[in-house]
Amino acid sequence: MKISLIREAHERIRRTIRETPIETSSSLNSLVGAELFFKCENLQRGGSFKIRGAMNAVLSLSDKEMRGGVCTHSSGNHAQALAIAAAQRQVPATVVMPNNAPLSKQKATADRGAKIVLCGPTLEEREAACARVQQESNAVLIHSSSDPRIIAGQGTIALEMLQAAGDLDAIVVPVGGGGLASGVCIASQAAKVYGVEPEMADDAFRSLQTGERLGPRPPLTVADGLRTALSERTFSILQEGLETIFLVSEEEILAAMRLLWERLKLIVEPSGAVAFAGILRHKEVFAGKRVGIVLSGGNVDLTGETLGQLFR
Amino acid sequence: MKISLIREAHERIRRTIRETPIETSSSLNSLVGAELFFKCENLQRGGSFKIRGAMNAVLSLSDKEMRGGVCTHSSGNHAQALAIAAAQRQVPATVVMPNNAPLSKQKATADRGAKIVLCGPTLEEREAACARVQQESNAVLIHSSSDPRIIAGQGTIALEMLQAAGDLDAIVVPVGGGGLASGVCIASQAAKVYGVEPEMADDAFRSLQTGERLGPRPPLTVADGLRTALSERTFSILQEGLETIFLVSEEEILAAMRLLWERLKLIVEPSGAVAFAGILRHKEVFAGKRVGIVLSGGNVDLTGETLGQLFR
């Protein structure tokens, strides 16, 4: 995929998304020993970067293609984003969500007017349920990470980061299905791109190590947005474009999230803190560098029970 | 006090504070039926607007005046702000804090290099402990709200809001000791200024109603930053400048805080959500208006226990 596709995507979506701010923190710079630029996609429409890809996909389709509406399967943020994009285009959206997706994400998706179909939490169950929906409704499937229009949309984050922060030595992103990481690899120009993945969802790490695309581990990590696996397309883009993938533990994800809440006063969901967790674990790699970090989303169940678990 | 003092304060402090962003939310605009401009002082240095006044006070003093350092009593945010300002001027700071101040605020103040003296939670206990410190150390007392240099510093918020958002019909602020509200009254120009106070700390409300300055209620509200009372100076400024004071319940404060976390993805402390709670309770007053709201701070204990209580 070429960077020109990402520039075209940016032209297509820029009036319907927010150019999110970049935050900095002298205390976090000191802690890491690097100059950090946090791209606040938690402040994006729908609470995550996913609107970029979803809007690009929906705005790319012809009226005829859209007749049956759109469908997808998603643990939450892509679901909500596709619902927003479909509503803007005034076509129906159906979303298959695993029954362990955060309630706030299920509710937000329904509030945007999408029809929700719940299924079991494994990738197989999600794909099977989505195939049924597609057959019944004749909707266009907009896959959350392997669709090239999605990848191009997510890559627009890197364009904005490089424009606003100037040259960067590195951009660090979380890796779930690899749509974000792929788009950023294509758009990153001179910046090296590092992926970070939870140890408990390390399919991309193992796939890149072995050179063979592996399926996901059981979807158990607290980083609910990263419970998916690479597709053939994102696997191949990441093999070529990614510097490396770092792994982080559940404790490291929660500690990074807590630091971001404390110092930036920003609500970042567990998946959104994964990239920063990777930097905290590998400070030596980033010492003295100018580093862009994607805070990918901010959708957290704000209940005492969930918060009590996240901030034990 | 004249607006020129506030403009001078802004010139004095602007290189050492952050011009905080103003956030907007179409969903919150719809909910209230007004155009809302949230001034994000939770993103300010030290996590609250208090650095404005503290920095103005400390930068106003001569080296000779500063020989004994500075001291104050504060439930937290002014303490932390004074510690930052004193460190910048390289003079010692001693802060008397009530023993029920959030641990995060106590720790942050100590981390900034201030000496902390704990005391009982009532205003009498705080003032007595502070007088002792002053006597022993010969430090300059920088009162958190009645000092004119503090009031002038806090008023700079209104200058920035009107500059960035354009003309506003109203500016809504929380009322504790009245330093912020007083500064905003003086700097607000054509905008009407509304104060909001917790029902459980309604000394300013009762004082303005009766025309006689009353002492504080027992310091029990969840809005820990507003557990103080008006001084003679702030009482007199608010009598003249404030449109009115609205009261809000503890439940309304927590509901407003939760909405801000959910929709703006910003961490706002209970005191920082009080102004918005007042708007939610009195939507009819603000219908169709352009309304500035001060989100005064974002310092919350991020522990499971505290969050469990705030998000019951």
d(CA A221, CA A243): 24
Whether this prediction's pTM lies above 0.90 is answered by yes
With an 8 Å Cβ cutoff, are B265 and A261 in contact?
A: no
d(CA A216, CA A199): 11
pLDDT at position A60 is 95
Question: Is B30 within 8 Å of chain A by CB?
Answer: no
Question: Is B265 within 8 Å of chain A by CB?
Answer: yes
d(CA A118, CA A13): 29
d(CA B82, CA B52): 10
With an 8 Å Cβ cutoff, are B302 and A262 in contact?
A: yes
More confident residue, A225 or B219: A225
How close, in Å, is residue B136 to chain A by CA atoms? 33
Q: Which of A267, A285, A222, A217 is nearest to A248 (CA)?
A: A222
Work out the mean pLDDT of chain A and round it to a whole number: 95
Q: Under 8 Å CB-to-CB from B188, ≥6 apart: which residues?
A: B158, B162, B171, B241
Q: Which of B195, B198, B275 is nearest to B242 (CA)?
A: B195
With an 8 Å Cβ cutoff, are B42 and A311 in contact?
A: no
Residue B96 binned pLDDT confidence (cut-offs 50, 70, 90) = very high
Q: What share of chain A has pLDDT > 70, as a percent?
A: 100
Q: Is the ipTM of this complex over 0.90?
A: yes
With an 8 Å Cβ cutoff, are A307 and B304 in contact?
A: yes
d(CA A125, CA A118): 10
Q: How far is CA A112 from the centre of its chain?
A: 19
pLDDT at position B195 is 98
Query: Tokens in use for B114?
Result: 């201030």
Q: Which of A60, A25, A42 is nearest to A151 (CA)?
A: A60
Within a 13 Å sphere around the CA of A286, how many CA atoms are in the beta-carbon half? 32
d(CA B298, CA A203): 37
pLDDT one-digit tens code per residue, B248-257:
999 999 999 9
The answer on pLDDT for A75 being more than 90 is: no
Question: Is A30 within 8 Å of chain B by CB?
Answer: no
With an 8 Å Cβ cutoff, are B104 and A311 in contact?
A: no
Question: Is A24 within 8 Å of chain B by CB?
Answer: no
pLDDT at position A35 is 98
Residue A102 binned pLDDT confidence (cut-offs 50, 70, 90) = confident
Residue A117 binned pLDDT confidence (cut-offs 50, 70, 90) = very high
With an 8 Å Cβ cutoff, are B262 and A304 in contact?
A: no
With an 8 Å Cβ cutoff, are B307 and A304 in contact?
A: yes
pLDDT one-digit tens code per residue, B286-311:
999 999 999 999 999 999 999 999 99
In which residue are the tokens 């506003």 written?
B168
The answer on pLDDT for B246 being more than 90 is: yes
- Asked if A256 and A280 touch (Cβ cutoff 8 Å), the reply is yes
The answer on pLDDT for A219 being more than 80 is: no
Question: Is B262 within 8 Å of chain A by CB?
Answer: yes
Q: b vs e for B251-288, b when ≥16 Cβ sit within 10 Å of the residue's Cβ?
A: ebbbbbbbbbbbbbbbbbbbbbbbbbbbbbbbeebbee
Residues of B whose CB is below 8 A from A23: 43
pLDDT at position A179 is 97
The answer on pLDDT for B219 being more than 80 is: no
How close, in Å, is residue A85 to chain B by CA atoms? 16
SS3 A242: coil
The shortest CB-CB distance from A307 to any of B47, B264, B308 is to: B308
Residues of A whose CB is below 8 A from B88: none
The answer on pLDDT for A136 being more than 80 is: yes
Burial bucket for residue B204 (CB in 10 Å: 0-12, 13-18, 19+): buried
- Asked if A167 and A191 touch (Cβ cutoff 8 Å), the reply is yes
User: What dihedral angle (degrees, nearest 10) is formed by the CA atoms of B38, B43, B48, B50?
Assistant: -90
With an 8 Å Cβ cutoff, are B308 and A308 in contact?
A: yes
The answer on pLDDT for A76 being more than 90 is: no
Amino acid identity at A132: R
The answer on pLDDT for B312 being more than 90 is: no
d(CA B32, CA B120): 40
pLDDT one-digit tens code per residue, B7-25:
999 999 999 999 999 999 9
Q: What share of chain B has pLDDT > 70, as a percent?
A: 100
Residue B166 binned pLDDT confidence (cut-offs 50, 70, 90) = very high
Closest-CA residue in chain B for A255? B302
The answer on pLDDT for B217 being more than 80 is: no
Q: Which of A125, A55, A136 is nearest to A96 (CA)?
A: A125
Residue A34 binned pLDDT confidence (cut-offs 50, 70, 90) = very high
Which residues 94-113 of chain B have a CB within 8 Å of chain A?
104
Q: Which of A167-181, A249-263, B72-86, B206-220 has the lowest mean pLDDT?
A: B206-220
Residue A218 binned pLDDT confidence (cut-offs 50, 70, 90) = confident
Question: Is A266 within 8 Å of chain B by CB?
Answer: yes
Mutating which of B27, B77, B265 best tests the A interface, going by the most A Cβ atoms within 10 A? B265
In which residue are the tokens 């959910």 written?
B262
pLDDT at position A310 is 93
Q: How many A-B residue pairs are in contact by the CB < 8 A criterion? A: 57
Mutating which of A265, A302, A310 best tests the B interface, going by the most B Cβ atoms within 10 A? A265
d(CA A306, CA A302): 7
